[in-house]
Amino acid sequence: MNNSMQTVRVELHSGDEDRSYPIHIGKGLLAQTDLLLPHLPQKRVAIVTNTTVGPLYLALLRTALEGQGIASIEITLPDGEDHKNGQTLNLIYEALLAQRCERKTTLIALGGGVIGDLTGFAAATYLRGVPFVQIPTTLLAQVDSSVGGKTGINHPLGKNMIGAFYQPRVVIADSDTLNTLPDRELRAGIAEVIKYGLIRDVQFFEWLELNMIRLVARDPDALNTAIRRSCEIKAEIVAADEREGGVRSLLNLGHTFGHAIENAMGYGVWLHGEAVAAGIIMAAELSRRLKLINEYDLERIRRIFQLAGLPIVAPKFLSEDYFSLMKLDKKVEEGRMRFILLNKIGKAMMSHEVPTSILTETLVTCMA
Ligand code: NAD
Ligand code: MG
């Protein structure tokens, strides 16, 4: 038994259906298949992974499953956001059909957010829904994409435009897998971790200020604490608002600006977490100009992203270009842009209308 394992529950009860599930967090969990066993309705699973993660962790997982009498088939996809599309989804369906996977065959996502989103959408739709398990292997996937049930793929005309809400039966976040993660990917995940402190928990933010150096150095205890608290916060928010009608939108702090940066630079040039870091600085600057937070708060926010090695200055484009890209955001309703703002460190709110002049000043101040 792993003494240091921690479990966060995502509570989802609607109607008479209980879709609640545990997130197990700790070191060495990949080989602890007893955590999976209670969630598998059949002694057969299909593991979906990619050409980077598969060679690192697939054998370990399959051997552990075999030890429990669970047969697994392997579906290895090409790596990259470019492959999060209908064509790759079809590869999953084809493998499942060719191997005669049934209603009770569990799909396991072993990888980062791309694999999680693809596999989750395949699980939601194959035979109108089969059991789904997430084994996230990036920090971003462990603190964000594996929690909350959003699944989907990109369309040539827009990112994440095709998808479904579909919850996993269990999430297993093994922090040991982060040891092989490239530095830049680790830091990108830390951006979302900082976000949770900012929107919901000043004490967690303060803990992050004190422990950022340990986190960046991949200290296992620090990582596990950060993952646990991030999952707790996301789980609370998702439990309160599964389909993003209200409080869930606070998770988008910095994202309207961030998406504009990702898009303007060309997807993949800035990692999502990097764009979110610069985007959160823009949201914080906007909050300061609206007199919600003060200069000292803004400086603390800049400093923590700097400590994490994340960008705090947005790339230079015309303000009009930012405006038109921000209008593409999914949060735009009836043409009105809304922003997530900070009332203070640890508390976020949804904006009403923001005067264009203040928005323009904010953009100009935050660009390189
Ligand atoms: P990713 O899945 O592309 O992983 C990043 C890179 O790290 C990839 O090359 C991957 O192969 C590699 N990798 C993964 N685990 C590794 C490991 N342990 N060791 C070494 N390399 C490893 O990117 P991501 O940042 O994990 O996820 C981004 C995706 O998640 C985007 O498509 C985004 O839309 C989605 N997302 C979804 C949600 C949601 O709620 N569903 C939330 C946030 C993001
Ligand atoms: Mg994000």
**pLDDT exceeds cutoff 60 at 40:** yes
**What's the pLDDT band for 2 if we cut at 50, 70, 90?**
low
Q: Read off the pLDDT of each residue in 283-305 and give the average, rounded to a whole number.
A: 98
Catalytic option among 24, 169, 195, 244: 244
What average pLDDT does this structure show over 205-234? 98
**CA distance linking residue 320 with residue 359, whole number of Å:** 11
**Token output for 277:** 């870091």
Q: Is 79 in the pocket of ligand 1 (CB under 6 A)?
A: yes
Please say if 150 is a catalytic residue: yes
CA 258 to mean position of chain CA atoms:
14
**Do 345 and 297 form a contact (C-beta atoms < 8 A)?**
yes
ipTM of the complex: 0.99
334 flagged as catalytic: no
Q: Which residue has the higher pLDDT, 337 or 176?
A: 176
pLDDT in tens, 55-87: 999 999 999 999 999 999 999 999 999 999 999
Q: DSSP label at 58?
A: I
* Domains in the chain: ranges and CATH: 6-178 (3.40.50.1970), 184-366 (1.20.1090.10)
CA-nearest residue for atom 29, ligand 1, is: 113
Please pick, among 229, 248, 288, 289, the residue that the annotation labels catalytic: 248
Q: How many CB atoms lie within 10 A of CB 183?
A: 10
Distance 292 CA to ligand 1 centre (A): 34
Average pLDDT, the chain: 95
pTM above 0.90, yes or no: yes
Query: Which DSSP symbol is given to 352?
Result: -
Q: Residue 208 class from Cβ within 10 Å (0-12 exposed, 13-18 middle, 19+ buried)?
A: buried
Tens digit of each residue's pLDDT (9 = 90 or more) over 114-166: 999 999 999 999 999 999 999 999 999 999 999 999 999 999 988 899 999 99
Active-site residue, from 128, 333, 334, 353: 128
C-alpha span between 203 and 201 (Å, rounded) = 5
Q: Whose CA is nearest to atom 35 of ligand 1?
A: 113
Rounded to whole angstroms, the Cα distance separating 284 from 343 reads 9
